[in-house]
Structure 1
Amino acid sequence: MFNVANYLETIGYAGSNEPTLDTLRAVQKQHLMSVPFDNSVNANVDRGLSVWDDVDIDPDESYESIVVGGRGGVCYELNGLFRFLLTGMGYDYQILAGAVRQVTGGFGPDLEHIFGCVRLDGELWLVDVGIAGPHYIEPLRVTSEVQELYGVRYRMFESDGYWVVQRKPKTGDWQAIYRFRMQFRDIDEWNDPDPSLVEFPPGLVAVGTFIHSRATENGQIVLIGRRCLKVADGEESVRVLVDPVEYKETVNTILNPETRGVS
């Protein structure tokens, strides 16, 4: 059964439950360190648009299997649970939809990714615990000002009706994470969506690629197929894990941290 106090304890958060910015920062980071992204559990290349049938999660069922049971999840599961957690803590949470940057440099469909924002003292903060690739491990304020988290710089700007969120490690260029419309969403929008808002153009994404990721104390580790990206204090390193033993060990490191909430 979904329980806020047990949820926080399980992910290793032991601070104040007051709905402040400091609490929000700590809870998002602890969640990302403790609960991994893992699309292998839901891998099914033949579901088509029926993948959106599960977006309106059962919080009790998802809580038991992911938070208590220890398995990873995908964006709508992880951000769905996070939405219930934050609203249970008293935060003013709204759902947003994002189009994630693809390997081609383009963006996916508008309703591809579900995440959210929190309003605090008249300002909006993006919160997201469910995206596969490298991203912000603490909330980002919706502003045109550059922000820095653990050595990585972030910025966002308006373009063609979207807010585009970009990141820049210590070495490398600015690169988009995703774009989104500043339009608060309702979960029912995914129940019977316009196909143009959820379908990928042919060839845009490699179907069936397993993705695993988890935050660490000062960065992230992201495994896309056998390509392993590690981020630490803004420094990035990439390796292709050819050795099957090393690959399995890396997957295990991401999905089964020795202690929940500890990098």
Structure 2
Amino acid sequence: MEPLGTARTDAYLRRLGAARPARSTADSLRELHLCHLRTVPFENLSIHLGDELALTRDAVFDKIVTAGRGGICYELNAGFAALLGALGHRVELLQARVYGKDGALGVPYDHLALRVDGRWLADVGFGDHTAHPLDLDEPGEQKDPGGVFLVRPARNDGEGGGGDLEVLRDGVPVYRLETRPRVLADFRTGAWWHRTSPDSGFTKGPVCSRLTEHGGRITLRDHTLIATSADGDRTEEELTTEEEVRAAYRTGFGIVLDRLPVPLHPRP
């Protein structure tokens, strides 16, 4: 993926509230990964606002940096890839299929994740997931603020296998990762499916979520504002007016909307 130019790289770093690292190292990657999760929300609002979901480097930059928005995995990880490439990291786009609650795998190109410098699995586009990149060279469990993670070879069960990897969180498979590098255009079919299908969880209703500075999470799902602490304590508040919802987007996520998103395929 083509990296950003100097001016756009500086603008992206300002969006994250991060300084340009003196050297691109595993530690600087770890810091930028956390900054991204804290400042750029995972959100599917464009789907429910009727906006296009354009998968190009420039469109993703304009949405995340210029408009101060977030996005879904294809946008967030594509934007992060362009930034990391500009800072000197070697970045590859990888496709993954997400495990559903029933244990079945999702559609091909269900998810976009990043392999950085041949070793690190970076993913700022999966919502509640890892705070830091995972080490693909580590065969054992990896402790993270988001849980205990394991990356292991996938079993050849007719759904892939051969060379694929599985990412587990607290012993539960999260997604199956194909190790062959892809280009951003490869993900357009998956993005179209998630943007239009009544079977996609993203079309059921708007969601906006980010990691907080104290390790918790703030989420606005439809009109419900959810705050979760690092210890797992959870509070919910039902917002009853449009102005309350707009204010929650502004104060919690820095998103200013001139109209509220309407569920594309509302839950029954």
TM value normalised by structure 1 = 0.75
Query: Which protein has greater RCO, CA pairs closer than 8 Å, 6+ apart?
Result: 1
**Structure 2: tracts of 5 or more residues without a match:** 156-160, 256-268
Q: Which amino acid aligns with 2:130?
A: Y
More strand by share: 1
What is the distance in 2 between the residues matched to 1:22 and 1:37?
Answer: 23
> Deviation string for 1:53-78 (max 9, x for gaps)?
833x142x432332132122222111
When residues 155 and 240 of structure 1 are mapped into structure 2, their CA distance, relative to the original with a 3 A threshold, is same
Maintained 8 Å contact 1:108/1:200:
no
Q: Percent same amino acid at aligned positions?
A: 26
What is the distance in 2 between the residues matched to 1:101 and 1:202?
Answer: 18
Maintained 8 Å contact 2:21/2:28:
yes
Maintained 8 Å contact 1:109/1:198:
no
* Counterpart among 119, 128, 135 of residue 129 in structure 2: 135
What is the distance in 1 between the residues matched to 2:57 and 2:21?
Answer: 27
The 5-angstrom pairing of residues 1-263 of structure 1 reads 3-14=8-19, 16-43=21-48, 54-55=54-55, 57-59=56-58, 61-119=59-117, 124-132=119-127, 134-142=128-136, 143-150=138-145, 152-160=147-155, 161=161, 162-168=164-170, 174-191=171-188, 203=199, 205=201, 207-217=203-213, 218-225=215-222, 226=224, 228=226, 230-232=228-230, 235-239=231-235, 241-244=237-240, 248=245, 250-256=248-254
When residues 127 and 204 of structure 1 are mapped into structure 2, their CA distance, relative to the original with a 3 A threshold, is same
Q: Which runs of 4+ in 1 moved over 6 A?
A: 197-202
> Deviation string for 1:102-159 (max 9, x for gaps)?
343433112011121112xxx5111111123x10121111132111122622112222
Comparing 209-218 with 240-249, which one deviates more in the overlay?
A: 240-249
**Structure 1: tracts of 5 or more residues without a match:** 169-173, 258-263
> RMSD between aligned alpha carbons?
3.3
When residues 215 and 199 of structure 1 are mapped into structure 2, their CA distance, relative to the original with a 3 A threshold, is closer
Maintained 8 Å contact 1:110/1:198:
no
Aligned length: 237
When residues 89 and 254 of structure 1 are mapped into structure 2, their CA distance, relative to the original with a 3 A threshold, is same
Q: Which amino acid aligns with 1:207?
A: T
Maintained 8 Å contact 2:218/2:225:
no
> Deviation string for 1:7-66 (max 9, x for gaps)?
112211125241100100011111111111110123378x9xxx8x833x142x432332
Q: Deviation at 1:175? A: 2.9
Maintained 8 Å contact 1:35/1:67:
no
